[in-house]
Every structure is written in structure tokens, then in C-alpha cells.
Amino acid sequence: MLSDSAALSGAVYECVDTARPDDFPYMYFEFMPADRSLLPALSLQTLTGDPVLTRFMDGSYIGQFRFAVYLRMSADDDESRLAASALMEQVTSVVAGGTYTLPTGFDYHRITQDTLPRLISVDEGFYDYQVTFAVDYGKKKG
Amino acid sequence: MIPIYSEQLQYWLDISDAADESGYENTAGVLTWTPSATLSEYKPAFLERAISPTFKRTSGYTIDSQFAAMSDEPTHEYFIAHEDMTNVVTNVVRVDMFDPVTGGYRARRAAFYMTVAPLTQNANEPFKIPPTFNMTDDGWTHGVFNVDTRTFTPDSEEETVTEEEAVTENAGE
């Protein structure tokens, strides 16, 4: 299961990176830039959770890869914060409707949205928004 | 000590409707697989003995199972095609993957009547297929199963040939 997360992180990152709206010139993996010239930025982070949803008698299983997509904006007024919410809705729609190609050995099942987009932190003028997803996949015992 | 895990015990199912053993497929997506034997007792009366022994015989053998439905599994397609049907003739081979022998793995085969109850479903998970198998044979036939060619060879087959040859040889003498 450890190798599942490592293998899926890169694949899901690439899929989200491919699908991201043009409003975001930058995308990162588990990193949020502190340089305002690089905003708005998207970032993908893997999340913890039970990696196996269903275990079968032959050793195969249905696994789940959970991840969060963050949006960091420098939003100084209500108008820009409302714009951030609209952008987050757009990001959510794109990620939830994306096409996910997983590495060999993984069967893609579906993607579900776990939480609603929300503002999770405000720090030194940086507004960070988060929405979380889960990719269900099948892995056969080799 | 080396434990034998459930993945080392495979159950292959003959999904050819002719049940002629031409369509063995390994079962996958198995959530539960529960064989159970019904035993009955009998006591023969031995007049010369003070205490009569108690014997047991198997009067029934049933396998209850449950599968999480998969669209790309041949056995699941077979189950769904036979949903709500009773007494569908098939063969089940249990393959002991922990016991490799010449030509395959130790295995046992028996004919079964399969009954597939209606499919059940819960929100947000694959629906479930609940086949039940009732043995029609007089117990298991032991042998060897080749997972590459998907063929079962009974142990007794060679012995039968030997006996026939012996009879022929005797008749010729």
C-alpha cells in the first residue's frame, strides 16, 4: 500500500495539472509559494486515511487515494475573495470531472468529492482555500 | 510456521452452460466464501457389542458466497446472467495453491447446483452477488488442476486406466 500512494501521487498530480484552468499559471505538489508574483497558485497534497475500502479473499482490493487541492490567492478585498470562491468552484468542477490515467496495475474506478471548497486559513494576506477528493481504484493481486 | 492465507486457496468455476468443464474461470471479487457440511448420525446395532459405535455421514454440502460485482469479471457476468435461476449445473474446483505438484496444484472437484439469489446493493459501493452452491456429487474428487490450461485431472483417472488394462491383459491370458 505504501507504493500505491507514491505511484498514484504523481499520476493524479499530472491529471490535475493537465486539467487545471488557465487562470492558474502555477501548480505545485505539497508546496505553497510565499511569493505574491506566483499567485494565484494551485497545490496538490496527499491525505491520510484508510487506503483499502474493500479487501477480497484473493488478496486483491479496492483502494482509495485521498488528496486535497489548495488554492492560494492574495485577496485584499471582498471582490477578490468572491472571485476566489468562484475560481475554487471552477477548480472543483474540473478536478471532479477530470480524466485520470493511473499507472499499470491500477484500475481507475471513480473520483468523488469529499468536502466542499472552503477557506481554511488567512495568513499575512494569503487566502488559502481547500477542497478534497478521493480516487477509488482496483488493484489485483499479481 | 508459515501461515496459509486465503489468497492461496482458489476456487475455479465452470461457467460453460454445458457444465462440461470447458470454461473454468477463477473467481475474483470474493467477499465471503463459506463452505459447510451437514452431518447426520447413525448407530448400527451390533448385537455382539455392548456399545454400538456412532457413525457420521455427510448428508449435504453447501457453499454460501458473496461477490462484489465487477464489470470485467467473467464469473460475475455468468452470475448476473443466471440471477434468480435455481439449480444451474456447474463444477467447482478448489485449487490448493500452496501445494504445487507435477502438472499443476493439488485440487478437488465436485459438481454443484448453483442458485443465484437477487442482487443486493448499498449506496456508494459495488452491488453484491450472492450465489449458493449445493454439491450434487458424492463428495470431492481429488486430483490436479493446471491453472494455465484450466484443466482438472482426477487422481483416479490413471488408476482406472490401469485397472482396465489389467482386465484386458487378464482376459487375453
Query: pLDDT tens, B115-146?
Result: 999 999 998 889 999 999 999 987 899 999 99
- Does residue B31 sit at the A interface (CB-CB below 8 Å)? yes
- Does B167 have pLDDT greater than 70? no
Amino acid identity for residue B81 in this structure: A
A interface toward B at CB cutoff 8 Å? Answer: 53-54, 56-60, 62, 138, 140-141
pLDDT of residue B4: 92
Which residues in chain B have Cβ-Cβ distances shorter than 8 Å to A60? 28-29
- Does B40 have pLDDT greater than 80? yes
pLDDT of residue B157: 56
User: In the structure, what pLDDT confidence band is assigned to residue A1 with cuts at 50, 70 and 90?
Assistant: low
In whole angstroms, give the CA distance from residue A42 to residue B171.
Answer: 88
Q: How far is B138 from chain A (nearest CA, A)?
A: 27
Which three cell numbers mark B118?
Answer: 437477487
- pLDDT mean over A43-61: 91
Give the residue among B66, B140, B139, B74 at the shortest CA–CA distance from B107: B140
- Tell me the pLDDT of chain B averaged across its residues: 88
pLDDT of residue B119: 94
Question: For residue B7, what is the DSSP state?
Answer: G
- Does B94 have pLDDT greater than 80? yes
Q: Do B31 and A56 touch (CB under 8 A)?
A: yes
pLDDT of residue B170: 47
Amino acid identity for residue A123 in this structure: D
Within 13 Å of residue B32, how many CA atoms lie on the same side as its CB?
12
* Cα B60 to chain centroid, rounded: 13
In whole angstroms, give the CA distance from residue A57 to residue B11.
Answer: 10
- Does B162 have pLDDT greater than 70? no
pTM assigned to the model: 0.81
Task: For residue range A78-137, list pLDDT tens digits in order.
Answer: 888 888 888 888 889 988 988 888 999 999 999 999 999 999 999 888 899 999 999 999
DSSP one-letter string for B83-133: BT---EEEEEEEEEEEEEETTEEEEEEEEEEEEEPPPB--TTS--EE-EEE
pLDDT of residue A17: 85
In whole angstroms, give the CA distance from residue B65 to residue A69.
Answer: 40
Which three cell numbers mark B103?
Answer: 502438472
Give the number of other Cβ atoms within 10 Å of residue B86's Cβ: 12
Q: How far is A61 from chain B (nearest CA, A)?
A: 8
User: In the structure, what pLDDT confidence band is assigned to residue B79 with cuts at 50, 70 and 90?
Assistant: very high
